[in-house]
Amino acid sequence: MKSVIFDLIENLVEYNSLNPKIGNGLKKFNEIEIDYNKRFEFDGGYLFFQEGTTTHIDEGTFEAHKKYIDIQIVLDGSEYVAWAPIDQLEVDVAYNVEKDVVRLNGNPETTMKINKGMAYICLPHDGHKALKYIDKATNYKKAVIKIEI
């Protein structure tokens, strides 16, 4: 697989073949009440919720992860996410093992608007810049599910 996956929330279960722990994360997501101040653990990863206001697409850096697959689910509002393969980006901040993140600079290959009810899955080769806007800032609420590789 060579690209970030964009899909609807109800289709996420179909991606269990990528990693069987995805099912555990989705089960936990469906069982809990939203709490923006808490991290929820499950067998094979964890999840948390975020809310805020998007920043301009030109601000910030791309990020990528080695130990976790990201599943990002927009619960309310919308965001743009910029994507590029990490081999087309330049390292800005070296990989931090503790935080499982490398910060990268470069140009996006794809930019996608993610609306309420949509999700995207980022694998280790996916540089992604999330929580962005192009024309006007928007408010968002989302869940981030981290799946151990």
Question: What does the mean pLDDT of the chain come to?
Answer: 96
Cβ neighbours of residue 94 closer than 8 Å, sequence gap 6 or more: 102
Supply the CATH classification number for the domain 5-148: 2.60.120.370
pLDDT tens-digit map of 90-100: 999 999 999 99
Q: How confident is the model at residue 2 (pLDDT cuts 50, 70, 90)?
A: low
Per DSSP, 28 falls in state H
pLDDT tens-digit map of 61-109: 999 999 999 999 999 999 999 999 999 999 999 999 999 999 999 999 9
Q: What percent of the chain has pLDDT over 70?
A: 99
